[in-house]
Amino acid sequence: MQFVQPIRDPEKIEQMKQLLLSRSKRDWFIFVFGINTGLRIGDILRLKVKDVRNRTHISLIEGKTRKKKWVPINADLSRVIQDYTKGMKAEATLFPSYRTRGETGICRVQVYRILNWAADQCGLEEIGTHTLRKTFGYHFYQKTKDVAMLQNIFNHAYPSLTMRYIGINQDMIDDAVSGFTL
């Protein structure tokens, strides 16, 4: 199993968005959706259009924890959802596979390939499907400094787990050691 990082640089996030949009609106949307909700990729890929269109929250049972989750949809993401799902049937999968002509949804392996293609173009390393969730967490923490809230959002048992998960511990270690010399 590969350890993946959040995308820390907002410019790299924008670069990823542009690259993905130039390739496919679906690929761009999965990236935007993931970094704005903080959901695990497995939970994202199970969603249907009706689960997000004209909603203020996403309601689901997490695949990993089997816990009920209620995720708010921010105003910007709501507009993106409305635009992306225009013309799609309510029962349709939110992220259709082009290979099956939309009969089934895209799989996590394909999402991994999509993200790694764009990351390679942007010069990013250690990118995977968890990068979306970690990017959400990293930037949420940077904005709010509220590890307890983020721990709750992620359903983590301990704040230290949340800090390590989003890469803040490594940032702190890097900062401390870079100025240390004997």
For residues 52 and 73, the answer to whether their CB atoms sit within 8 Å is yes
Catalytic-residue membership of 139: no
Q: Would residue 113 show up in a list of annotated catalytic residues for this protein?
A: no
Catalytic: which of 26, 69, 133, 134? Answer: 133
Q: Long-range contact list for 152-158, CB < 8 A, 24+ apart?
A: 153/38, 154/38, 155/62, 155/65, 155/67, 155/69
Beta bridge partners of 71: 58
- Asked if 26 is an active-site residue, the reply is no
Catalytic residue among 64, 68, 86, 101: 64
How big is the CA angle at 40 (ends 10 and 6), to the nearest 5 degrees? Answer: 30
Establish whether 133 is a catalytic residue. Answer: yes
Active-site residue, from 12, 53, 108, 156: 156
Residue 53 designated active-site: no
Strand ranges inside 28-146, DSSP E: 57-61, 68-72
Catalytic residue among 26, 40, 69, 134: 40
Q: Is 130 a catalytic residue?
A: yes
Contacts 24+ apart (CB under 8 A), 161-167: 162/137, 165/134, 165/137, 166/6, 166/134, 166/137, 166/138, 166/141, 167/5, 167/6, 167/8, 167/134, 167/138
For tokens 């640089």, the residue is 9
Looking at 26, 130, 134, 139, which residue is catalytic?
Answer: 130
- The catalytic residues are 40, 64, 130, 133, 156, 165
